[in-house]
């Protein structure tokens, strides 16, 4: 037998016939709407301010649109999958979900990454519909596009490599469109 505090009553928020039930339900709906609005505003703010996530993959600097990034996870074990391309490193368990891990440097026919202590997995946003993550050498933090200069070089053949920018130090940054990468037929075909 357990004792319950006298001021607590059973949860009847879903029961409009109890005193205050309709009011609690209305407050819950209002809270959910406010929460959704705040999440959308935060996402919109990231786009409006032109903030991008800066990452280092091999020797190249990339900018990732924050609305296309899921989360940043410390590097941990990856289970290899037989008969896949060398750039498809395998599967990792990220928060209970099997996620494909890709070495983007190898995908671009560059030397394979040798992950060090600062290596991370950057997952694709769930909205992209692809349970995938990129192995990055290091996460460099947020960067503002307004503080950079767009380069005038010709765009890459790869549609997922968008504009190139240079920062105040003259460092080149390639903008990577994860949504387009997730739709690239070569990227989706991991089998040998």
Whether the model clears a pTM of 0.95, i.e. scores above it, the answer is no
**Would you state the structure tokens that stand for residue 32, as one six-digit string?**
């959910």
Domains of the chain: 11-48 (no CATH), 51-188 (2.40.50.180)
Kindly report, residue by residue over 39-96, the tens digit of the pLDDT: 555 555 544 457 899 999 999 999 999 999 999 999 989 999 999 999 999 999 999 9
Question: Are 179 and 71 a contacting pair, CB within 8 Å?
Answer: no
Nearest partner of 92 among 84, 100, 81, judged by Cα: 100
Report the C-alpha gap between 64 and 176 in whole angstroms: 6
Those residues with Cβ within 8 angstroms of residue 24's Cβ, 6 or more apart along the chain or in another chain:
13
* Of residues 82 and 25, more confidently modeled: 82
User: What CA–CA distances, in Å, run from 77 to 86, 106, 166?
Assistant: 16, 18, 34
- Rounded Cα distance, 49 and 27, in Å: 32
**pLDDT confidence of residue 144:** 93
Contact 138, 121 (CB under 8 A): no
Neighbouring residues of 125: CB distance < 8 A, sequence distance ≥ 6: 67, 68, 69, 70, 178
Q: Which residue has the higher pLDDT, 116 or 143?
A: 143
Strand pairing category for 60-65 and 172-176? parallel
CB 165 within 8 A of CB 157: no
């Amino acid at each position: 037998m357990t004792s319950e505090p006298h001021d607590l009553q059973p949860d009847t928020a879903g029961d409009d016939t109890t005193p205050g039930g309709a009011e609690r339900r209305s407050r819950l709906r209002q809270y959910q709407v406010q929460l959704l609005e705040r999440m959308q505003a935060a996402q919109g703010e990231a786009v409006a301010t032109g903030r991008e996530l800066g990452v280092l993959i091999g020797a190249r600097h990339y900018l990732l649109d924050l609305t296309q990034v899921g989360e940043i996870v410390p590097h941990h074990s990856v289970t290899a999958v037989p008969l896949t391309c060398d750039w498809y490193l395998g599967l990792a368990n990220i928060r209970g979900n099997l996620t494909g891990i890709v070495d983007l440097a190898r995908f671009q026919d560059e030397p394979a990454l040798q992950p060090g202590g600062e290596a991370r997995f950057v997952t694709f946003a769930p909205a992209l519909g692809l349970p995938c993550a990129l192995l990055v050498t290091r996460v460099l933090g947020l960067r503002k596009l307004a503080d950079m200069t767009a380069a005038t070089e010709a765009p890459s053949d790869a549609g997922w490599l968008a504009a190139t920018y240079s920062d105040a130090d003259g460092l080149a940054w390639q903008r990577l469109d994860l949504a387009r990468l997730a739709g690239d037929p070569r990227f989706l075909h991991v089998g040998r």
